[in-house]
Structures are given as C-alpha cells and as structure tokens.
Amino acid sequence: MSVYALNGLNYSSVKVSFDEAFLGSYSSSDGRFGLNLGSRINFNHGGNTTTFVELKYVIIDGGQLVAGAREKFNL
C-alpha cells in the first residue's frame, strides 16, 4: 500500500446550445480555472494489477468533492 498527495490545476467548461423553430437558436458557454487538492491510496496486489482510491476537493466556485476508484493493469 502507498499513499500520495494530489494537487493540480483544473479547467472546467460547459456549453449549451439549441436550435428550435419556434424559439430560435441559442448558444452559451463558460469556462473556469480551479485547484485540485487531495490524496490517493494505491493497493498493490502483486502481479500486474493495482487498485487505487482517490479523494480530492476541487476549489472552483462553490467547490466540489470528488471520489473515485480505479484498477490499473500493467502491460
């Protein structure tokens, strides 16, 4: 098992558009920069697989907590 600290930059963007015969067309987009802070725990099973669990907080506007789990296969 190993533990890592995470930090980094984040860019989030959103774009909405529609084209409706009665209402006409509309398009809008927005993008923001933020920071990521968190940690990751790797669980080394031996062999060719590693499972890792990640928890990070994205500092952008109201903020967002992100949790994830992944499996990595070494080729």
pLDDT grade, residue 75 (50/70/90)? confident
How much is the pLDDT for 40? 94
Q: Distance (Å, rounded) from C-alpha 69 to C-alpha 45?
A: 15
Q: What angle do CA 9, 12, 17 make, to 5 degrees?
A: 165
Amino acid type, 74: N
pTM: 0.63
What confidence tens digit (pLDDT) does each residue in 23-71 have?
A: 788 899 999 999 999 999 999 887 888 899 999 999 988 888 999 999 9
pLDDT grade, residue 74 (50/70/90)? confident
